Amino acid sequence: MKFKSFFKIYYLHRINKAKTLTKIYIMISLPLIYLVNKFLYPRIINLDFLQISKKFLYDRDLKFLFEYFNSDKGKALVNQYDKPINQKKAKVKGHNYHSFYENYLSNKKFEKINILELGAFKGNATAAFYFYFKNAEIFSGDIFPDLFHYKSTRINSFYIDTSSENDLKNKLLSKKIDFDLIIEDAGHYLKDQIISLFILFPILKSNGIFVVEELDFPDTRKDMNIKNEKPTLREILISVLNKKDFNSKYITEEQKQYFLNNYNNIKILKGNYNEIAFITKK
């Protein structure tokens, strides 16, 4: 975990709100706080080595794996957003998306597939997918890749800013890699959700699945849609389901027509807290 990432995640918002004396105190004490937390931060785990002693994980379902690796996609987890020094052992409710994922992905479990995960964070869901899809190659992108604490010959961790059309095009489209599963679990901002789907849908394989987690964030959280822009991705998908036209400044006419001509099914489901969309391709 780099100092820059630690500062942006845990202290930038505090600095922006703090008064002068508080800012000075934070800046003076921050290097020591960082060193303590860096010492407590989990070491990188090599999953290729772990699987030798934990072969039983290959036989487990996603409900078990998400909880085992502490992913918020599952039923329960230890809060992974606390600083290491503040982390408690008590579990809190997760999003409870596991049954949805299981329903859509169980038929791909033993296939040789490519998975793209946007918003990998610490890699806890990545580790779960590593064992669930034993023949998969996983591409895990995040704006803070230094927080990722797993490695494997089957995992590619990289930096990406999903709010940037150039990043999505230059770091993904240009690679000429097609994916069987794309999971958008990054910033959850209105623009990010829209451009991720419409820019990346062409590199989703036929019969592939595009997942958007926390679909309803731009509709329910002001910080995810500061200007209260319309339509949100949720509204766009509902329009498509209802055979109604839609327009967005973030979508070109070519992208719109490609999506309309190539999507097969859209399903919006509700987890413990938020909505998740599963979009299948023809």
The residue type of 6 is F
What average pLDDT is seen over the chain?
94
* Residue 61 pLDDT grade (very low, low, confident, very high; cuts 50, 70, 90): very high
Q: pLDDT tens for residues 247-269? A: 999 999 999 999 999 999 999 99
Predicted TM-score (pTM) of this structure: 0.94
Q: pLDDT tens for residues 217-258? A: 999 999 999 999 999 999 999 999 999 999 999 999 999 999
Using alpha carbons, list the distances in angstroms from residue 182 to 87, 160, 203.
30, 14, 9
Rounded distance between C-alpha atoms, residue 58 and residue 148, angstroms: 21
The residue type of 7 is F
Give me the domains of the chain, ranges plus CATH numbers. 3-40 (no CATH), 45-281 (3.40.50.150)
Rounded distance between C-alpha atoms, residue 262 and residue 119, angstroms: 25
Residue where the block lists tokens 């089957």: 154
Number of other residues whose CB lies within 10 A of the CB of residue 148: 21
Residue 237 has what pLDDT? 98
Q: pLDDT tens for residues 83-140? A: 888 877 888 999 999 999 999 999 999 999 999 999 999 999 999 999 999 999 999 9
Cα angle for residues 205, 206, 208 (degrees, 5° grid): 65
CB distance 197 to 129 below 8 Å: no
Among left, alpha and beta (phi > 0; psi -120 to 50; other), residue 207 is left
